[in-house]
Each structure stands twice: as C-alpha cells, then as structure tokens.
Amino acid sequence: MLSISPLKKLINFTFITSLLLLSQAVVASSLDRIIAVVNDDVILASDFTDSLSRASSQIRQQGAKLPSQQVLQSQVMEQMILRSIMLQMAAEQGIKVTDRQLNATISQIAQNNGMSLAKFREALIAQGQDYIVTREKIKEDILIRQLQESNVNQRIQISNREVKNFLSSRAGESNAEVLLSDILITIPSPMTPSNIKTAKTKADAIYQKLVNGAKFANIAISSSSAANALNGGDMGWRKIAELPSSLVSAISGLKVDQFSQATRTPSGFHILLLRDSRNANATLNIQKTKVRHILISPSEIISAAQAKRTAAQLYQRLLKHSDHFAALAEEFSNDPGSSSQGGDLGWTENGQMVPEFEQVMNSNKVGQISLPFESRFGWHILEVLERKTVDVSNLAKENQARNIIGKRKFAEEKDNWLREIRANAYVEFK
C-alpha cells in the first residue's frame, strides 16, 4: 500500500494541474474570444480592446472630444476589418518588407521626430508602448501602402492629352498647397436616389452643426466615414492640383479656418476645412557641361601601372599640343562609345557620370585639360568644352503634371478600391 501512495499523489497533482490549466484556458478564451471573422483571419476581443484604447488615447492627444462608445467601436472595428483584408491580400500577392526597408523607415520616423533610433525606442517605452509591437505595426503599414500602390496604380491610365490639358489649365500654373481636414459622408449601397438623399441630408445637418460652432475634429471623429476620421479628418498638406476638381471648387474662396458646404464626389459628400495654405512655385535650372575624355583602362594586356603611365604620357603630349585631343582619343581611348567621336561625350549633367569624373568635370574651367585621374573604369583625361545653364521648368512641369494627375486619380481610385475589397470580403460578427 505504501508503494501506491506516491502514485495517488502524482495522479491527484496531475488532476489539479489539469483543472488549473483548463480554468486558465477558459479565462483566456473568454478574454481573447473571436469577435469577427474576416475572410481567413479573425479579430480577437483583446486586439479590439487594444485598438480602442489606442484610438481613445490618440483622440485625447489631439484635444478632440471622444465620440460615443458605440461610434468609436464602429469606427475602430471598420478600420480593423479593412486592415485585415489588406494584410491578407498582401500575403496572397507575395508582397514582402525586408528588414533593411523596415529599419530605414523606422530610422526616418525617428529622424522626423528629431531623435536618434535609440532615443525613439526609449521614448516609445517611456510612453508605455512595446517597441516590438510598434515595429510590427510599421511593417504592416508598409505592406498596406505597397499593396495599395500595386493594386490601385494598375487601374490608372494617364494620356498625353490629359497632361497637355492640365498644363494649360489654371491648376497647372501653380504649385499652391493647402492643409486640409475632411468629413466624408458615404452614400449607402446601392446608390439609389433615396440613399443619395439620405447621405446629403446627413451631410447638410453636419454642416449646420459646424456653422453653430461644433468643433470640426470632433464631428470628423464621430461622423466621418473616411480612413482618417479618428485623426480628426486630417488630410495633411495637399497640392491643390492633386485634388479632384470638385474639391478644388469647394475650397475655392475659403479663408484659413473656414469650411466648405457639403460637396458631392463619387465617394459621397465631403465637407472640407482649410487650415492653412502656401505657395511653392519655383523655376528649375540645371547646369550642363559639354566634355570629352580619353580613357586608358587596365586589361589582361595592360597592367594598372602601365595604364597610369600611358595616361601620364598622353597628358604631357596634350600640354604641348592641346589641339591633338580628338586624334589622341581616337587612337588611344578605350571608351568604345566616345573614342570614334574624338572622345566627345556630348552634354552631360550631374548624376550621369561616376563621382570621380563629375568632381573633376565640375572643378575644371572651360578649355582646361585635366590631370590624369582614376575611376573604376581606369585612368581619364578630360577637357571641358562648354557650359550652359538650362531652364528645365517645362520638362519638370510635364513630369510633375503626370505625377499630380496620377496622385489625383490614385486618391479617387483608392476609395473605389477600398469599397470593392470591403464589399467582396466575407465578414461575420460573433
């Protein structure tokens, strides 16, 4: 009997331990229960609670008024659903973020806040935030941005006619920027006359609240359907030319701290607050240099020392007969692209040549033959033939116009794309 006693104790201990583990699992499951299924992913109660807490803290830091718990929960849940959908899509499409890319982004965020990476990490910990969790969230943000760029940009086409029309328009004449906040009232699906009227009525009621003194950020948090709602509707600085024409018309004539009436767009009805404005017009000039050179490259036949010696000998010949440059280039230069042209490289600008070449080219005067110098290609002798300053504003404006039109279309298409992926997703609330 004495030999059985330890066994009984072991069985009793195991049974009690199992009960404790089971009770802990029950408690954990009740705290971390699934509250929504989004396609192949789930949203846990604990994650939802954390997101609510962060959103509340963010709103308080902005000095805005917290909306009702129901409204806040709805806004946060919708953001989490969209985020889950996009992260799943990123995984399906094989979009990845390298450690180098992530580290560079975090370093840039730290720099933007006037901190080193170490100080940024310390600041996060001091605020009670987990650095590893923050790092993972930044990684997810990068994934989402890359997903949006990949999927939305392929829906955008920009014709030469659009660029030409833009440049001839008033928008193309200015680089003016505005700091905006936005309240968006979306039109419920399907887009029937009744639903459009309902959304317009709601937007007009919100406009009246603003007229009566309601704080814009508070209304944005409690009523806007835009992705930036919990940021008080902050859109940041935007070039006027990048905004849809309907929104440009809406803010036209507004003074700083004034807001627009409800304006219809494909997304719904927008009310915009003009917080600031600035002008960024500038003329863009670049320096071009016409240059020719002789290149002596080491090879299996010519050693590095021999290449250097040959370049020095050619330089001595050029000091006596500078007019022989083209002939010597044709005879001795190892640059196949320019030797037949007497070493002529045509007009160049910074960024086109290796740094060693550009440094000598930029420091030499017109007509001056340089001392031999080395780059990874071998030993060079160059002569600056001519310099000129070129106004490339028109070319820059053309590229900028294409970029602006792309951004304008991206903003519109992104809203459409987000609605589509949300509508096509399987979402079940538990």
pLDDT digits (tens, 9 = 90+) for 158-197: 988 888 887 776 555 556 789 999 999 988 877 789 989 9
380 touches 298 (CB < 8 A): no
**pLDDT bucket at 22, cuts 50 / 70 / 90:** very low
Q: Which domain holds residue 103?
A: 34-153
Q: Mark which of 100, 124, 153 sits at the end of a domain.
A: 153
- Is residue 23 domain-resident? no
**pLDDT bucket at 16, cuts 50 / 70 / 90:** very low
Cα–Cα distance for residue pair 164/35, rounded to 1 Å: 52
**Residues 341 and 400 reside in one and the same domain:** no
Residue 18 pLDDT: 41
**Residues 254 and 402 reside in one and the same domain:** yes
- Residue 138's contacts (CB-CB under 8 Å, 6 or more residues apart) are 102, 105, 106, 109
**pLDDT bucket at 104, cuts 50 / 70 / 90:** confident
- Is residue 164 domain-resident? no
The three-point CA angle 237-242-244 to 5° equals 115
**pLDDT bucket at 10, cuts 50 / 70 / 90:** very low
* DSSP single-letter state for residue 302: S
Per-residue pLDDT at 11 exceeds 90: no
Largest CA distance in the chain: 116
204 touches 262 (CB < 8 A): yes
**Mean pLDDT, rounded, for 46-54:** 90
**Residues 291 and 262 reside in one and the same domain:** no
Structure confidence by residue, pLDDT tens digits, 216-231: 999 999 999 888 888 8
Cα–Cα distance for residue pair 395/382, rounded to 1 Å: 29
Residue 27 pLDDT: 40
268 touches 225 (CB < 8 A): yes
**Residues 145 and 201 reside in one and the same domain:** no
Instruction: Dihedral sign for Cα 190, 194, 198, 201, please.
Output: positive
CATH of the domain at 135: 1.10.4030.10
The pTM (predicted TM-score) of the whole model is 0.55
For 165, the token pair is 């029309």
**Higher-confidence residue: 411 or 298?**
298
**Residues 70 and 123 reside in one and the same domain:** yes
**Mean pLDDT estimate for the chain:** 85
**Residues 39 and 144 reside in one and the same domain:** yes
User: Which of helix, strand or coil describes residue 386?
Assistant: strand
For 56, the token pair is 């509340």
Taking Cα atoms as reference points, which of 290, 282, 400, 294 lies closest to residue 352?
290
- Is residue 162 domain-resident? no
**Residues 330 and 411 reside in one and the same domain:** no
Strand 378-391 relative to strand 268-278: parallel, antiparallel, unpaired? unpaired
User: What total of structural domains would you count in the chain?
Assistant: 3
> Helices 131-153 and 69-92 sit at what angle, rounded to 10 degrees?
70
Residues recorded for the chain: 430
**pLDDT bucket at 390, cuts 50 / 70 / 90:** confident
Per-residue pLDDT at 328 exceeds 90: yes
**Residues 382 and 400 reside in one and the same domain:** no
Per-residue pLDDT at 379 exceeds 60: yes
**Residues 385 and 402 reside in one and the same domain:** no
- Residue 347's contacts (CB-CB under 8 Å, 6 or more residues apart) are 288, 289, 290, 388
CATH of the domain at 277: 3.10.50.40
For 8, the token pair is 């009984």
Cα–Cα distance for residue pair 3/1, rounded to 1 Å: 5
**Residues 415 and 340 reside in one and the same domain:** no
- Is residue 26 domain-resident? no
Cα–Cα distance for residue pair 224/226, rounded to 1 Å: 6
**Residues 402 and 257 reside in one and the same domain:** yes
- Is residue 9 domain-resident? no
Cα–Cα distance for residue pair 66/39, rounded to 1 Å: 31
**pLDDT bucket at 392, cuts 50 / 70 / 90:** low
The CA-based dihedral angle spanning residues 76, 80, 86, 87, taken in that order and rounded to the nearest 10 degrees: 140
* DSSP single-letter state for residue 212: T
- Is residue 111 domain-resident? yes
Per-residue pLDDT at 405 exceeds 80: yes
Taking Cα atoms as reference points, which of 273, 265, 248 lies closest to residue 199?
265
**Residues 271 and 355 reside in one and the same domain:** no
